[in-house]
Amino acid sequence: YLVAYALLMTFSFYTHYFTIFVLIAHWIAVTILSCQSHKTTCYLKLPGWWFANLAIAVVYLPWLPVLFNLLTHMAQLRAGNDIGWIAPITWRDLPAMYWHFFTGNNGQDFPAIILWLAAGSFIGTVGRISLCNGENERY
């Protein structure tokens, strides 16, 4: 499974630079799991984990000059309108994502309060079901 993990993380790095935050989250999770006293396996001491992360770094190395070039020429990219073409996120976009998921419609014709009520009722329903059904089972 670590070979698949290394491949998928490498593909993800080549696709999106924010994958570094996913990798940091994985390291935090593995560190927490390794520090738990009731666990017998210390994941940080497994050589496979280290080799997988080393493989991710080595395979990503050829792309570092491209990243460096992008970061050093950000002003030229902005001037040429090559970045920043994604519309800014607004408070209306969060509930609209829920609306779009359930209806397939972007919800532009509805007032924002309807979208917020729909998202809130969905989150409340899921929370209520989770609390009622999971009293005996904890993760």
Q: How many CB atoms lie within 10 A of CB 100?
A: 14
Question: Does pTM surpass 0.85?
Answer: no
Check pLDDT > 70 for residue 112.
yes
Which has the closest alpha carbon to 99: 82, 119, 85?
119
Interval 85-105 mean pLDDT: 79
pLDDT of residue 28: 92
Phi-psi region of 104 (alpha: psi -120 to 50; beta: other; left: phi over 0): left
- What are the angstrom distances between the C-alpha of 81 and each of 67, 76, 84? 18, 9, 7
Sequence ranges of the domains in the chain: 2-79, 93-133
Check pLDDT > 80 for residue 129.
yes
pLDDT of residue 83: 64
DSSP state of 43: G
